[in-house]
Structure 1
Amino acid sequence: MVRESVRQTPGIRLLPNAVTVLAVCSGLSAVMFALRADWALAILCIAVAAVLDGLDGRIARLLDATSKIGEQLDSLCDSISFGVAPALIVFIWRFQDFRPGWIVCLLFAVCMVLRLARFNTLLEDEEQPPFAKEFFVGVPAPAGGLLLLAPLMLHVQFGPGFWDSIVVALVWTVCVSALSISRIPTLSVKSVQVSPKLVAPLLVGVGLLAALVVVVPLGALVAVLLVYLAHVPYAVHRYRWLTNHPEAWAVPPRDRRAIRRRSPRRLAIRRPLRRQVAGAARRAVYRHGSTGTPPAREQGERRRRDWRRISLRRR
């Protein structure tokens, strides 16, 4: 009934697009604050744009108001909010008197635009495996824009440091650009499911994060970004495991643990050599009451083991 009433109300269907427009306005406002050297507000505007970018898609699915124009508008606004705006902020902060810095900022903006164009093409790709929806290809645009501003966050929160170096800013910008355009899989937030055993530690971590936000807000944001980077090896391992186990593609993520437990590598089982299998099998048969006699070679080995057991030497 709710969805039918939404379909009959055209104004409600514009709400997700309105949230997307607010996100791009917040991203462009960050450039204005950067021109005034108000770095904290510039970072805050990019963070608000990231939050709004995460809300518009969920609102569209909740109201059943998804559309092609909404998808294209979202990508165009992301290219401005998380590609152009962060690059201009970093240039104004560190690279104004360093001409090669403009090349690096252009590199980041181009990589972000290409990453979003690839994202749009992957949405229509029907040849992807079912588990591909659980991953992003490369670092998402909001995370990439915030990662680029991590040295500026450290500068605002803790003052001058090694993160103020032009070389550090150059290397960091190139690395974030490579992560955004790369094909490294990263987890989608929608696919993350917390085990019941980890609920209590997770709540403790949320409490600690809230305390950090009160004391050092930008430092807490940098810590979250570092944790996000630390999850990349796990995402790569999970993607490779799913690629090599087609039987788990149609299984919900919470039920895949049983498949992992049955994996031979999980049990540390190695494939022994043929001779070792045959010898071990024959010894097991003779040990448990077989009527036959073991081969002479095994009898000699048993005698040698008996001499060693009683610590005697043969004369």
Structure 2
Amino acid sequence: MAPTSPGVRLLPNALTVLAMCAGLSAVQFILNRQYSAAIAAITIAAVLDSLDGRIARMLDATTKMGAELDSLADAISFGVAPALMLYLWRFGGDRVGWVVALIFVVCMILRLARFNTLLDDTEQPPYAKEFFVGVPAPAGGLLALLPLILTNEFGDHGHWWQSRPAVMAWTIGVAALLISRIPTLAVKSIRVSPRAVAPLLVGVGLLAAAVITYPQITLAAVLALYLGHIPYAVRRKHWLANHPEAWDVPPRERRAIRRAHGSQVRLGLRPPLRRVAGAARRAVMRPMRNGDSTHIALPTDPRPAGARGRNWRRTGLRKHQRPGESKSR
């Protein structure tokens, strides 16, 4: 591959600077109480933030300076700007509200610092690249503004999500999601099959039309869908952790493995090895055909009786009951 020219290597950092300018412009809109314009500026910063890293990887133009600049831009656009907006909108003059805003900013910065440290972690399993640890910074900054977005759309008529305690609880909840270990899907790892390209492009066109016609309600719907995907992401990561055979295979083979596993679960089948082991032990413990009731002696297990009992239960076998042994536990 030919080396990337200096001008092309500058493009990802230029997008990061534009995202930072959008975040700083959001602060200016907030000070003028232009909340709709501020939300639009933060949304633009989120779009630019999703593009700069992807373009840097495509052009092989990733640099240490770009990573540090990206974290600084995210801290301003998705930490400081949303916290300041919520404080002026609902927490103005309230010391508790200022503490809540500080908690959100601190959690955002901690989330960015952890993300930078995970980039250098080489001991993660192969499937870890498909997930973020916690809610990423752009999604967290926009999620914190969801009560304000709904208020701009439906008006300030005393709805429950507009009350000060509800906004405080929501902000702290989003801050907890930022620093949590809950997995969320990474969009960069999603692969689209050739058959789905045309429907996906149609969906993008419909989304663009919805954004132009109903911008804030569309943004609120997208944020609600993002929150709804978290249980699926947790389940998917748990499934991948228990199925190493699906780590490095194409999506089609992974879906086949998932369907095969689901069929076994629905039919109540056990793994063949466990079933063969149980049949072999019952055959060994069965009395002799000549009428002798003496059992064949098996090797003595050196473990304590309690550990042996737990092993029987863990492997799914029923312990053979000896003559005269009580059935009560």
TM range (shorter): 0.7 to 0.9
Alignment correspondent of 1:126: 122
Q: Work out whether residues 91 and 105 of structure 1, in 8 Å CA contact, stay in contact via their aligned partners in 2.
A: yes
* Matched residue type, 1:263: H
Q: Which amino acid aligns with 1:231?
A: H
CA change 1:199–1:58 in 2 (3 A) is: closer
1:48-97 deviation digits (Å, cap 9, x = unpaired): 11111111112212322111111121112211111111111111111113
Amino acid at match of 1:245: H
Counting only pairs closer than 5 Å after superposition, residues 15-54 of structure 1 correspond to structure 2 as 15-54=11-50
**2:184 aligned partner:** 186
Q: Deviations over 1:196-241 (max 9, x none)?
A: 6766765665455344323321000000010111110100000000
Distance 1:264 1:154, change over 3 A: closer
2:258: which partner in 1? 260
Structure 2 residue ranges without an equivalent (≥5): 280-329
- How many angstroms does 1:141 deviate by? 0.3
The residue matched to 1:115 in structure 2 has which SS?
helix
| Structure 1 residue 105 displacement after superposition | 0.7
Whole-Å separation in 2 of the counterparts to 1:28 and 1:83:
11
- The answer (yes or no) to whether the contact 1:261–1:267 under 8 Å persists in 2 is no
What is the CA-CA distance between 1:21 and the residue it aligns to?
1.3
* Letter of the structure 2 residue corresponding to residue 238 of structure 1: R
Matched, 1:156 2:152: yes
Out of 68, 73, 81, the residue aligned to residue 64 of structure 2 is 68
Distance 2:108 2:192 in 1: 30
Does 2:80 align with 1:80? no
Decide whether the 8 Å contact of 1:82 with 1:142 is kept in 2: yes
Structure-1 residue corresponding to 2:166: 168
SS of equivalent residue, structure 2 residue 267: coil
> 1:104 aligned to 100, 103, 112, which one?
100
TM-score, with structure 2 as normaliser: 0.76
Structural RMSD (CA): 2.4
Letter aligned with residue 254 of structure 1: R
Look up the SS of the partner of 2:61 in the other structure.
Answer: coil
Asked whether the 8 Å contact 1:24–1:78 carries over to 2, the reply is yes
Equivalent residue for 1:308?
none
Q: Which moved more, 1:57-66 or 1:173-182?
A: 57-66
How many residues align structurally?
272
3-state SS of paired residue (1:147): helix
| Distance (whole Å) between structure 2 residues aligned to residue 197 and residue 70 of structure 1 | 36
- Correspondence for 1:250 among 239, 242, 248: 248
Name the SS for the 1:263 alignment partner.
helix
